[in-house]
A and B are shown apart, each in its own frame.
Chain A
Amino acid sequence: MARPAPDVMTRPATATSGPAVTDTPTRGSAAGRRQSPADQRRRLLIPFVGPALILYTVLFVIPILAAVVISLHRWAGSGPMTWAGLDNYTTLVEDELFLQSLGNTLKLLFVVGGAIFVLSFALTLVLRDMAGRKIVRSVLFFPHLVNALVYGVLAGFVFNPDGLANAILRPLGVSTPQWLAQDNLFVLIMITMTWMTTGYYTTILMAGVDRIPPYFYEDAALAGANAWQRLRHVILPLTWDVFGVCAVLWTITSVKIFEIVWIFGGSSGNGIPPTKTWTAAVYTYATAFSGDSVPAFGAATASAILSLVLVTALVVLLRRVMRRDVIEF
């Protein structure tokens, strides 16, 4: 669906009084044209957009195109490249480990994403009327400031067989759970991610909720609305665009999650994490940089390109699903 263009673009040329263009000789039709803002805009497009476009092309577009080319080859990172066609892609799609890694990425995206949004929204509603909310908000935001690596290393102290968690549980009669067993690692990573990120989205959502003018609530109260109705008819519609932005931000973040997985199971960098915890990003890295076998840059790049396609498709889809008419207030 085409959206209406901004009004400046459709404003008739005669409505303004720009200087006459002197250096364009009359070419057949009109006897000397006046320059419209649209024309001016068009003329300034190159000098203003050009530098950014060049930078973007050099730093992003060309590398992505180069990556596509590399992904069609077998290549150990340097030295000879051999043409592989779409082999890297077909191998990936058939590789159970890649599908499992992709599944983990999707778990982070949807399960952790869902948990974060429910928690953030609940916190936002609780914090809205709370005394000392600014301090609480800072405290909630704090985990997001700390590098994910710290949590990975901390996991060892807390969850090792003789760690803090078991030290607390033992007097309660709980027989020491095997927190860091390979089967439990990914769940721990998901919980840690939720805890780390909730504060960040709470802060964004709170900013959205805070700008709702109080008279909407007063009006709702006068109309006899209960808390649920107020949520349904006032808060949600007026913060919908903020939700949309948060959803896109999380989608992009979740597809890139790497370092916490690497450190959580990866013995602080001394080894590679168990394959059960791999995300698509970890799969890509391990394929290219494992260090203990011949690097497969072609396959790694193919995996990166597939991730890029995935994130693009998801963002487009999300924007479509979340699209509502923005309510001006």
Chain B
Amino acid sequence: MTIRVRWTKALAAGAAAAVALAMAGCSGTDDAGQANQEFTYWSMWKTGEPQQKVLAEAVADFEKQHNIKIKVEWQGRNNLQKLVPALNTNNVPDLVDGSYVKLYPAVVATEQALGLADAYAADVDGKPAGEHIPAKYLADVDIKTADGQPWMLPYQIQSETIWFNAAKNPELKANPPKTWNEFIAALDRLKAAGQTPLAADGDIAGYNSSWFVTLLLRNSGPGALMRLASDKTGAAWDDPAVADAARKVEQLVKGGYLIKGYNASKFPAQQQKWANNEAALMYMGSWLPTESAAYAAPGFEYASFSFPKTGTHASERADFTGFAVPKKAANAQLAQQFAAFFLSKKYQDKWGAEAKVIPIRADASIAAQMAGIKADLDAAGAYHLQNDGVAFPGYNEKTFWAKTDELFLGKITAAQFTTQMKQAQIDYWKAQS
């Protein structure tokens, strides 16, 4: 029928026009970007954070000095969750940043990370940027792609430690417990003195598991959890060192050292209590002083001591936070130039003194409350990653943390923990194969 044919033709013409328009729209933006010398940066920091203020200053300085426009989006911590789907499109940022544990799944596991040899070679304060990153960190923390180039330019280190208020417990500063037995003795002393020894927000699985993880790394050294989790037969869970780490967690739970209600509260309820002197110690990341500053009791003096040793191993957690460039980035060169620029002493000093976190450069300023943890990091002979770098799909969220939760919240014993984890891990690897 001619009428139908006419309609079909009109429809086809319309659709063709729409497609043509859409394509024209896509191709139109490409050239403009090149001409203006600009690049896009999706930041993990949000407007108003101290870190963002330092970065914003660096962005402004860089734009002025190099006549390059940086289109910054202060996206916050879910910037990498947005990056993963974006990597399938042509709307890819030229520069992103994040912690190792978030960057690795987003850009390395997806094989989308560009080697940053140019950034490492760029001159910063008279020497290549890469040489400002202490070599002993790079020796332990693997941030290399298959071709041997680093995929990340770190500008910050996050660690974890046992925090306390030196104004209230000066004896811990004078004589910090060094071994597990000394630590338990210190907890007993605090308890006898009427203090709650330990605070913990038991609703955060990552925090709960860090006790077992660090104890295992103390028993068997860095890489022990990775070896344990990778074992498809589950036999590694029979290792006495693993059982010992689990028993020590059980010892904390059964010993009644933990603050009442830690297993039925909502973050940051217990952290607030700790900052209000209602508990003496808290095992937490290096971000704790900045995070709890707003509600800390007057005169609170942040101090810390390293996680107690159970034997000879004494590695410190050193998580890099830094820049990465996606392979698809159109302006990768400019992005790398800025990443290196940000390692200048000026911004690293501000990162330590104003943002009060740990800058990557050994010669950068450091805030008073970070002095202890920085000294522990400098003195350490070995380093490990958060969760020992274990990031198998769903392993942490669905298998490992579910059980470390139960152990730390006192639902199961150490023996049940290792038996159940062994079976859960066998099932996990069977499902993955």
A: residues with CB less than 8 A from B are 23-24, 43, 46-47, 50, 54, 76-80, 91, 94-95, 97, 155-156, 159-162, 176, 178-182, 184, 265-268, 270-272, 274-275, 286-287, 289-296, 299
Shortest CB-to-CB span from B366 to chain A, Å, is 26
Contact call A79/B269, Cβ cutoff below 8 A = no
A299 to B15, CA, bound (A): 35
Q: Which residue of chain B is the closest to A92 with respect to CB atoms?
A: B431
Q: Could you say which of B2, B265, B396, B409 has the most chain A C-beta atoms within 10 Å of its C-beta? A: B265
Query: A182 to chain B: which residues have CB within 8 Å?
Result: 263, 405, 409, 411
Query: A268 to chain B: which residues have CB within 8 Å?
Result: 266-267
B: residues with CB less than 8 A from A are 1-4, 7-8, 11, 15, 78, 80-81, 84-85, 87-88, 101-102, 104-106, 109-112, 201, 203-207, 260-261, 263-269, 387, 390-398, 401-402, 405, 409, 411, 431
Contact call A267/B267, Cβ cutoff below 8 A = yes
Q: Which residue of chain A is the closest to B403 with respect to CB atoms?
A: A275
Contact call A292/B387, Cβ cutoff below 8 A = yes
Contact call B394/A299, Cβ cutoff below 8 A = yes
A79 to B397, CA, bound (A): 23
Query: B201 to chain A: which residues have CB within 8 Å?
Result: 267
Shortest CB-to-CB span from B276 to chain A, Å, is 11
Closest 10 interchain pairs by CB? Answer: A161-B261, A178-B264, A78-B87, A79-B110, A156-B266, A267-B267, A77-B84, A296-B393, A181-B264, A294-B109
Shortest CB-to-CB span from A177 to chain B, Å, is 8
Contact call A161/B81, Cβ cutoff below 8 A = no
Contact call A294/B387, Cβ cutoff below 8 A = no
Contact call B393/A295, Cβ cutoff below 8 A = yes
Once A77-B87, A293-B392, A294-B391 are accepted as A-B contacts, the answer to whether A271 and B267 lie under 8 Å apart by CB is yes
Contact call B204/A267, Cβ cutoff below 8 A = yes
Once A267-B201, A290-B396, A296-B393 are accepted as A-B contacts, the answer to whether A77 and B11 lie under 8 Å apart by CB is no
Q: Which residue of chain B is the closest to A75 with respect to CB atoms?
A: B110
Query: A286 to chain B: which residues have CB within 8 Å?
Result: 394, 397-398
Contact call B11/A50, Cβ cutoff below 8 A = yes
Contact call B431/A76, Cβ cutoff below 8 A = no
Contact call B105/A76, Cβ cutoff below 8 A = yes
Contact call B396/A293, Cβ cutoff below 8 A = yes
Q: List 13 A-B contacts (CB under 8 A).
A: A43-B3, A43-B4, A76-B105, A78-B85, A78-B112, A97-B398, A160-B269, A161-B260, A181-B264, A286-B397, A286-B398, A290-B394, A294-B104
Query: B8 to chain A: which residues have CB within 8 Å?
Result: 46
A185 to B129, CA, bound (A): 49
Contact call B205/A274, Cβ cutoff below 8 A = yes
Contact call B105/A294, Cβ cutoff below 8 A = yes
Besides A267-B267, A291-B105, 12 more A-B contacts (Cβ < 8 Å) are A77-B84, A77-B106, A78-B88, A91-B431, A156-B266, A161-B269, A181-B409, A270-B204, A274-B203, A275-B402, A294-B393, A295-B393
Contact call B397/A180, Cβ cutoff below 8 A = no
A165 to B422, CA, bound (A): 40
Contact call B394/A287, Cβ cutoff below 8 A = yes
Q: Which residue of chain B is the closest to A297 with respect to CB atoms?
A: B84
Shortest CB-to-CB span from A159 to chain B, Å, is 8
Shortest CB-to-CB span from B30 to chain A, Å, is 20
Once A160-B261, A292-B391 are accepted as A-B contacts, the answer to whether A271 and B105 lie under 8 Å apart by CB is no
Q: Which residue of chain A is the closest to B261 with respect to CB atoms?
A: A161
Query: B207 to chain A: which residues have CB within 8 Å?
Result: 271
Shortest CB-to-CB span from A94 to chain B, Å, is 7
Query: B1 to chain A: which residues have CB within 8 Å?
Result: 24
Contact call B110/A270, Cβ cutoff below 8 A = no
A286 to B101, CA, bound (A): 16
Shortest CB-to-CB span from B13 to chain A, Å, is 13
Query: B396 to chain A: which residues have CB within 8 Å?
Result: 290, 292-293
Query: A265 to chain B: which residues have CB within 8 Å?
Result: 203
Shortest CB-to-CB span from A90 to chain B, Å, is 9
Q: Could you say which of A46, A266, A267 has the most chain B C-beta atoms within 10 Å of its C-beta? A: A267
Contact call A295/B203, Cβ cutoff below 8 A = no
Query: B105 to chain A: which residues have CB within 8 Å?
Result: 76, 291-295
A181 to B87, CA, bound (A): 39
Query: B85 to chain A: which residues have CB within 8 Å?
Result: 77-78
Query: B205 to chain A: which residues have CB within 8 Å?
Result: 271-272, 274
Contact call B81/A291, Cβ cutoff below 8 A = yes
Query: A293 to chain B: which residues have CB within 8 Å?
Result: 105, 390-397
Contact call A292/B397, Cβ cutoff below 8 A = yes
Contact partner, B265, options A180, A271, A289, Cβ 8 Å? A180
Contact call A156/B269, Cβ cutoff below 8 A = yes
Once A271-B203, A287-B394 are accepted as A-B contacts, the answer to whether A78 and B84 lie under 8 Å apart by CB is yes
Query: A160 to chain B: which residues have CB within 8 Å?
Result: 261, 265-266, 269
Contact partner, A95, options B263, B395, B431, Cβ 8 Å? B431
Contact partner, A291, options B80, B112, B409, Cβ 8 Å? B80
A165 to B397, CA, bound (A): 30
Shortest CB-to-CB span from A80 to chain B, Å, is 6
Once A46-B11, A267-B266 are accepted as A-B contacts, the answer to whether A77 and B204 lie under 8 Å apart by CB is no
Q: Could you say which of A155, A176, A290, A293 has the most chain B C-beta atoms within 10 Å of its C-beta? A: A293
Shortest CB-to-CB span from B406 to chain A, Å, is 8
A241 to B287, CA, bound (A): 57
Query: B204 to chain A: which residues have CB within 8 Å?
Result: 267, 270-271
Query: A156 to chain B: which residues have CB within 8 Å?
Result: 265-266, 269
Q: Which residue of chain A is the closest to B327 with respect to CB atoms?
A: A79
Once A43-B3, A178-B264, A274-B405 are accepted as A-B contacts, the answer to whether A79 and B87 lie under 8 Å apart by CB is yes
A78 to B106, CA, bound (A): 9
A23 to B391, CA, bound (A): 69
A98 to B269, CA, bound (A): 30
Q: Could you say which of A46, A50, A266, A295 has the most chain B C-beta atoms within 10 Å of its C-beta? A: A295
Contact call A76/B392, Cβ cutoff below 8 A = no
Query: A91 to chain B: which residues have CB within 8 Å?
Result: 431
Query: A184 to chain B: which residues have CB within 8 Å?
Result: 264
Query: B112 to chain A: which residues have CB within 8 Å?
Result: 78-79
Query: B393 to chain A: which residues have CB within 8 Å?
Result: 76, 287, 293-296, 299
Contact call A23/B2, Cβ cutoff below 8 A = yes
Query: B267 to chain A: which residues have CB within 8 Å?
Result: 267-268, 270-271
A286 to B11, CA, bound (A): 42
Query: A155 to chain B: which residues have CB within 8 Å?
Result: 266
Query: A181 to chain B: which residues have CB within 8 Å?
Result: 263-264, 409
Shortest CB-to-CB span from B218 to chain A, Å, is 22
A290 to B104, CA, bound (A): 13
A50 to B260, CA, bound (A): 64
Contact call B265/A161, Cβ cutoff below 8 A = yes
Once A76-B110, A77-B84 are accepted as A-B contacts, the answer to whether A267 and B397 lie under 8 Å apart by CB is no
